[in-house]
Amino acid sequence: MKITEAKLVVCSPTRNFVTLIIYTDQGIYGLGDATLNGRELAVATYLEEYCIPCLIGRNPFDIEDIWQYFYKGAYWKRGPVTMSAIAAIDMALWDIKGKALNTPVYNLLGGKSRDQIMVYCHANGTDLSHTLEVVHEHLEMGYKAIRVQSGIPGIASTYGVAAKGEKYEPATRGLPHESSWSTEKYLNFMPNLFSAVRNKYGDNLHLLHDCHHRLTPIEAARFGKDAEPFHLFWMEDPVSEELQESFRLIRNHTTTPIAVGEIFNSVFDCNRLITEQLIDYLRMTIVHSGGITPLQKIAHLAEVYNVRTGFHGATDLSPVTMAAALHFNTAIHNFGIQEHMPHDPLVDEVFPHDYHFNDGFMFIGDKPGLGVDLDLDLASKYPYQRAFLPVNRREDGTMWNW
């Protein structure tokens, strides 16, 4: 089998997605997600200019060699743009191989370790009582695990919270929105929220929270200790994660489990976190970390050190990534949980797929390959529109992590 052509589809059915389609001489094609939120065209150009010309004529079954060709062979290793581009190629090749062998991708990754994938949803409220209402709505939908984010008294806007009645979406069209931040107000407020959720809904619900990179290690240690009575499933991204040893300090102070990695793109972002057992859940995602091929190696390393997966699954990851993640989650032993932020129904129409949600779990179908397609006609009706993630400042104006 030979790769004959590859093309990119950049569309914006409510939000931007970059999709790579690789075609072969046997009529089989594969899909890969290349979406990097707020930087979409950088990845599209990288693929178009530097990767696609080198793919033509290759045997799509040689997944490992093609991966190394684009990783080692580029000389300029790592980084989110490069790794998202390689991920798209990798996903498409696994899709092709599954279709060619007439089997779902999970069978190529070791076979089924489980039939259902526990997911967590987002409950975002403008204030404490609104957040409690939204938690209730999601419990009614069957979710067993819920991430709570809330507006904080005295802060105009914060991560993860939409205006009342609106759906939260990280990126917005136009120039970056500016939000403001106070660590002090946040740290004082959050334990009250967790306490209120536990008082109202009891102990069985898995409760999660995303600190979104905003604390220092000692502040994160306080956060974790204050949260201990409410036994969170995890605290996510407690600190900015460039410095892996930060997590040792947090770890020394608290038993609240730690999840990190949605912006990682290589094993070298997390090798110490894993081997020194400084975290509990790895949030890396197939689209931003080079694809299924390297993540399989990372997951196997993590298994040795009792680190489980908790892949990123926000709306900026396309249904192609969700399908790939569900195959992956089905196969590996050390699956933990999968994030599920449902796509707009239009996105599901543009990307028809063979997975579904029911009563707190996701189920992958048994179509060959990844089991997801792209409706090219429909996609062409929604052209790319530039959008940005917000930026964040402390109350005195200092730039901060968003």
Binding site for Co ion (CB under 5 A): 210, 262
CB of 241 to ligand EZ4, least distance (A): 12
d(CA 78, CA 52): 18
**Nearer of residues 104 and 170 to ligand EZ4, judged by Cβ:** 170
Phi, psi of 206 (to 5 degrees): -80, 125
Nearest to 120 by CA among 298, 309, 310, 299: 310
**Nearer of residues 106 and 143 to Co ion, judged by Cβ:** 143
15 binding partner (options Co ion, ligand EZ4, none; Cβ < 5 to 8 Å by kind): none
CB of 260 to ligand EZ4, least distance (A): 11
170 binding partner (options ligand EZ4, Co ion, none; Cβ < 5 to 8 Å by kind): ligand EZ4
Handedness of CA 12, 14, 15, 17 (dihedral sign): negative
Nearest to 279 by CA among 318, 244, 240, 313: 244
CB of 212 to Co ion, least distance (A): 6
**Nearer of residues 262 and 354 to ligand EZ4, judged by Cβ:** 262
Reading the block at residue 331, the tokens are: 């196969």
Q: How many positions of this chain bind ligand EZ4 (CB under 6 A)? A: 8
Binding of ligand EZ4 by 310 (CB under 6 A): no
Q: Which of 28, 190, 197, 314 binds ligand EZ4 (CB under 6 A)?
A: 314
CB of 101 to ligand EZ4, least distance (A): 33
Q: Output the DSSP codes for 202-267.
A: -SSSEEEEE-TT-B-HHHHHHHHHHHGGG--SEEE--B-TT-TTHHHHHHHH--S-EEE-TT--SG
Binding of ligand EZ4 by 238 (CB under 6 A): no
CB of 389 to ligand EZ4, least distance (A): 6
CB of 53 to ligand EZ4, least distance (A): 29
Reading the block at residue 20, the tokens are: 């790579």
Binding of ligand EZ4 by 241 (CB under 6 A): no
Binding of ligand EZ4 by 262 (CB under 6 A): yes
Neighbour tally for 199: CB within 10 Å: 10
**Nearer of residues 60 and 160 to ligand EZ4, judged by Cβ:** 160
The three-state secondary structure class of 6 is strand
* Contacts of ligand EZ4 in 10-69 (CB under 6 A): 37
Instruction: State the Rg of the chain over Cα.
Output: 21
35 binding partner (options ligand EZ4, Co ion, none; Cβ < 5 to 8 Å by kind): none
Nearest to 343 by CA among 329, 357, 333: 357
Reading the block at residue 10, the tokens are: 């950049």
Instruction: Go through 239-277 and write b for each residue having 16 or more CB atoms within 10 A of its CB, e for each that does not.
Output: bbbeebebbebbbeebebbbbbbbbbbbbebbeebbeee
d(CA 298, CA 290): 11
The answer to whether 367 and 396 have CB atoms below 8 angstroms apart is: no
Q: Give the residue numbers marked as catalytic.
A: 159, 212
CB of 20 to ligand EZ4, least distance (A): 19
The closest residue (CB) to Co ion is 210
**Nearer of residues 84 and 254 to ligand EZ4, judged by Cβ:** 84
95 binding partner (options ligand EZ4, Co ion, none; Cβ < 5 to 8 Å by kind): none
**Nearer of residues 105 and 208 to Co ion, judged by Cβ:** 208
92 binding partner (options ligand EZ4, Co ion, none; Cβ < 5 to 8 Å by kind): none
Binding of ligand EZ4 by 210 (CB under 6 A): yes
Binding of ligand EZ4 by 170 (CB under 6 A): yes
Residues making contact with ligand EZ4 (CB under 6 A): 37, 170, 210, 212, 262, 314, 316, 389
